[in-house]
Chains A and B, each alone.
Chain A
Amino acid sequence: MQGKMIARAKELLQNGTVNRVIGWKAGDFAYDITPAVFSSAEELDAGFVYNDFCGANFSKYLVKESRKEGKILVFLKPCDTYSFNQLTKEHRIIRDNIYVVGVPCDGKTDGETLKLKGITGITGIKTEGDSFVVDTLYGEKTIAKADALPERCLSCKSKKHVAYDELLGEDGEVCESNRFDMVEKLEAMSSEERFAFWRGELSRCIRCNACRNVCPACTCERCVFDNDNSGIAQKAAADSFEENMFHIIRAFHVAGRCTDCGECSRVCPQNIPLHLLNRKFIKDINEFYGEFQAGEDTETRAPLNIFDTEDVEPSIVYEKGGN
């Protein structure tokens, strides 16, 4: 796939369709692959990679990139195309300045996860059926995908590209996903247990803002949290209110627009399962206002931008199960 992508990118650069390419570039180690912009065939040959470590979603980079001179080529995985559609819908990106090539994805792992499973000294990775074969300094190791994939990929919502100019490889289908299992499990707990669970998770937050910065739905030029008086800028993990407030508001600001791409959890240096907050909003919206998948198309309006006179009352929260 990597060879095909480089070849196609070179063609498009040469025939003048695009003047640069946003893709994944090899880092110092095999697993620290970073997003980069390439503007020549030589650069592509030197650094472009596409393998099982390429988790980054490029949609957000297009907010700035599509405002620059000339057209840009972007490679998007199926779940990235949902974010792309959402940004198109919100007029955050200039669609005419972007050439989208859809690439297939079978789940992306990362160095951290493999390290936790005892695989270190990683020098390369490839997929063989339902397993990853990892090249390490200590020889070849095989690990089942079920053990090595993050939750966002294990409960993949769709392998279908919803926006593209052309596709490389086969397009998939929307998956039967069990993504709300953990949310349901939490809902069934008592409120003390839930409080303890979230304290355990959120108290690790160091307010690095990585979740906000990476989120393709968070594209405000000026963020509410950049305000000095917002009261969330205390880096010391000293106060539970700050953590609760930051995470409630962060998730609330993307409610109805979050496509559940899972980038927030991927980048969290403290491994907080942030996607569980977003999924709660998605689940509630599905339950209260009808099934809705953000980014599925570029037409429908977000659930919080519309209303129905017969909507449920907020008191439904007290009537729900659990306690």
Chain B
Amino acid sequence: MQVNEKEFKPTIVAFCCNWCSYAGADLAGTNRLNYPADVKIIRVPCSCRVNPMFILRAFQRGADGVIMCGCHPGDCHYTTGNYYARRRMTLLFSMLDYLGIERERTRVEWVSAAEGAKFAATMNEFVETVTKLGENKRLEDLRCKEK
């Protein structure tokens, strides 16, 4: 069988809250739901832990898309963390868009520990969107490229 080397496989970084989406990803796994292996999960104690710099760093080190998953508003393990995160991410994504970086490369989704199916569906959809966009060129760091 010939492996097509030209086929583009995006690298997706997913920041997942320890208390909900990370468990949601686990549930997706135990339920044998498929989602692409291109999604690299980084566990954070709360979506509020995600510093805007993390998102930019992920792009720098080769991510083609970055998604942040947290508890549904109102369900934060620490009561209010995700509300702050929501404001921050809204402003950051708007700024990335303002600088001309494709807005589809960033996303926030609220996924609870019970929503394994939603986790898988979200990731499938996000990977598809980013695959269509192609490689991250506008926010890349040439020094971090392997080739």
Interface set of A (CB-CB < 8 Å, partner B)? 183, 186-187, 191-199, 224, 231, 239-242, 244-245, 248-249, 251-252, 255, 277, 280-281, 284-285, 288-289, 303-304, 307-309, 311-318, 320
Bound-state Cα–Cα, A138 to B52, Å: 52
Besides A284-B94, A314-B108, A318-B103, 20 more A-B contacts (Cβ < 8 Å) are A187-B98, A191-B97, A194-B99, A224-B53, A231-B60, A245-B53, A248-B96, A251-B95, A252-B52, A252-B92, A280-B98, A284-B90, A304-B84, A304-B87, A307-B80, A307-B84, A307-B86, A317-B103, A320-B94, A320-B97
Bound-state Cα–Cα, A19 to B44, Å: 52
Which residue, of A198, A248, A255, has the highest number of chain B Cβ atoms within 10 A? A248
Bound-state Cα–Cα, A320 to B93, Å: 12
Q: B74 at interface (Cβ–Cβ under 8 A)?
A: yes
Bound-state Cα–Cα, A240 to B138, Å: 8
What residues on A are CB-neighbors of B138 within 8 Å? Answer: 195
Bound-state Cα–Cα, A281 to B91, Å: 7
Least distance between A260 CB and chain B CB atoms (Å): 16
Q: Which residue of B lies closest to A190 (CB)?
A: B100
Q: Which residue of A lies closest to B89 (CB)?
A: A314
Q: Which residue of B lies closest to A288 (CB)?
A: B90
Nearest 7 CB-CB pairs, A to B? A195-B100, A307-B83, A194-B100, A241-B141, A314-B108, A314-B90, A317-B93
Q: Determine whether the beta carbon of A285 is less than 8 Å from that of B53.
A: no
What residues on A are CB-neighbors of B52 within 8 Å? Answer: 248-249, 252
Bound-state Cα–Cα, A309 to B75, Å: 11
Q: B143 at interface (Cβ–Cβ under 8 A)?
A: yes
Q: Determine whether the beta carbon of A280 is less than 8 Å from that of B94.
A: yes
Interface set of B (CB-CB < 8 Å, partner A)? 52-53, 56, 59-60, 73-74, 80, 83-84, 86-104, 107-108, 138-143
Q: When A191-B102, A241-B60 are in contact, do A313 and B140 touch as well, CB less than 8 Å?
A: no
Q: When A195-B101, A314-B93 are in contact, do A239 and B53 touch as well, CB less than 8 Å?
A: no
19 examples of A-B residue contacts, CB within 8 angstroms: A187-B98, A191-B101, A241-B140, A244-B99, A245-B53, A245-B60, A248-B56, A248-B96, A252-B52, A281-B91, A288-B87, A303-B87, A304-B88, A304-B91, A307-B80, A313-B108, A314-B90, A314-B108, A317-B103
Q: Determine whether the beta carbon of B141 is less than 8 Å from that of A252.
A: no
Q: When A248-B56, A314-B108 are in contact, do A191 and B103 touch as well, CB less than 8 Å?
A: yes
Bound-state Cα–Cα, A204 to B86, Å: 33
Bound-state Cα–Cα, A230 to B139, Å: 16
Q: Determine whether the beta carbon of B98 is less than 8 Å from that of A194.
A: yes
Q: Which residue of B lies closest to A198 (CB)?
A: B99
Least distance between A224 CB and chain B CB atoms (Å): 7
Least distance between A173 CB and chain B CB atoms (Å): 30
Q: Which residue of B lies closest to A191 (CB)?
A: B100
Q: When A252-B91, A307-B87, A311-B83 are in contact, do A196 and B100 touch as well, CB less than 8 Å?
A: yes
What residues on B are CB-neighbors of A311 within 8 Å? Answer: 73, 83, 86-87, 90
Bound-state Cα–Cα, A280 to B73, Å: 26
Bound-state Cα–Cα, A244 to B83, Å: 26
Q: Determine whether the beta carbon of A314 is less than 8 Å from that of B142.
A: no
Which residue, of B83, B100, B108, B138, has the highest number of chain A Cβ atoms within 10 A? B100
Q: When A280-B98, A307-B80 are in contact, do A249 and B86 touch as well, CB less than 8 Å?
A: no
Q: Determine whether the beta carbon of B60 is less than 8 Å from that of A192.
A: no
Bound-state Cα–Cα, A131 to B59, Å: 49
Least distance between B40 CB and chain A CB atoms (Å): 19
Q: Determine whether the beta carbon of A239 is less than 8 Å from that of B90.
A: no
Q: Determine whether the beta carbon of A280 is less than 8 Å from that of B139.
A: no
Least distance between B30 CB and chain A CB atoms (Å): 29
What residues on A are CB-neighbors of B104 within 8 Å? Answer: 318
